[in-house]
Amino acid sequence: MFRRGGLPPEVYTSLGPLIGGKPNVLAWASTGIGYAVALDDRLVWTSPGDWDQVAWHEIQHGGWNPDDNELHWTKLDGTEQRLHLTDAGSLPGVFRERVEATILFRRALQPAGATRQVTITARRTLGAETTITWGWSVASGGRLTPTALEEVERELIRLATEYDV
């Protein structure tokens, strides 16, 4: 069953070609220049003349700043994005739930010689075809020495083998 969730019909219809089918709208918000829409497997938003998108499993972290009315996130590749929402509704809560739903496993590690903590994660895609990806990230401002990097890689392989996912 697909839901429009109160999204204006013309906006709902314009999502079909982007995702290759009928969208299931979990939540949506106005951005002032268009809309931000939470779907099962991704967040989409209007940019001038088109849609932009990010899959939930590609978001490393993010959240909602009610003081600035901004939804913000950092992708796994380090790029940052911000959306100003004029009427947030339930979108910030759905954003958090969807990103968290991608995380199957999370372990903090303090490698020898590293100035910051490393987080190892196993993440799954949300949607029809689920894949699992193991990865790691260093806390903001941190860098790894070659020795610390080797330790992180060994631990990632050990965990992936132990959990067999």
Q: pLDDT digit string (tens) for 120-148?
A: 999 999 987 788 999 998 887 778 889 99
Q: What's the token pair of residue 57?
A: 């499993």
Report DSSP state, residue 90: T
Q: Is residue 3 part of a domain?
A: no
Q: pLDDT digit string (tens) for 73-123?
A: 999 888 999 999 998 999 999 999 999 999 999 999 999 888 889 999 999
Q: How many residues does the chain have?
A: 165
Let me know whether 47 and 95 are in one domain: yes
The partner residues of 74 in beta bridges, in order of sequence, read 61, 80
Phi, psi of 58, rounded to the nearest 5 degrees? -90, -5
Alpha-helical regions (H) of 42-145: 91-101
Number of domains in the chain: 2
What's residue 128's pLDDT? 73
Report DSSP state, residue 66: T
Q: Which amino acid is at 25?
A: V
Let me know whether 27 and 96 are in one domain: yes
Mean pLDDT over each residue of the chain, to the nearest integer: 90
Task: Write the CB contacts of 111 (distance below 8 Å, at least 6 apart in sequence).
Answer: 118, 144, 147, 148, 149, 151, 152
The partner residues of 59 in beta bridges, in order of sequence, read 75
Let me know whether 65 and 120 are in one domain: no
Let me know whether 32 and 56 are in one domain: yes
Q: Which domain holds residue 136?
A: 103-163
Let me know whether 128 and 61 are in one domain: no
Do 28 and 7 contact (CB within 8 A), yes or no?
Answer: yes
pTM of the model: 0.87
Cα 122 to Cα 127: distance, rounded to the nearest angstrom: 16
Let me know whether 20 and 88 are in one domain: yes
Cα 94 to Cα 16: distance, rounded to the nearest angstrom: 21
Residue 50 sits in a domain whose CATH number is 2.30.29.30
Q: Is residue 2 part of a domain?
A: no
Let me know whether 123 and 49 are in one domain: no
Q: Half-sphere exposure of 160 toward its Cβ, with a 13 Å CA cutoff?
A: 15
What's residue 1's pLDDT? 38
Q: Is residue 95 part of a domain?
A: yes
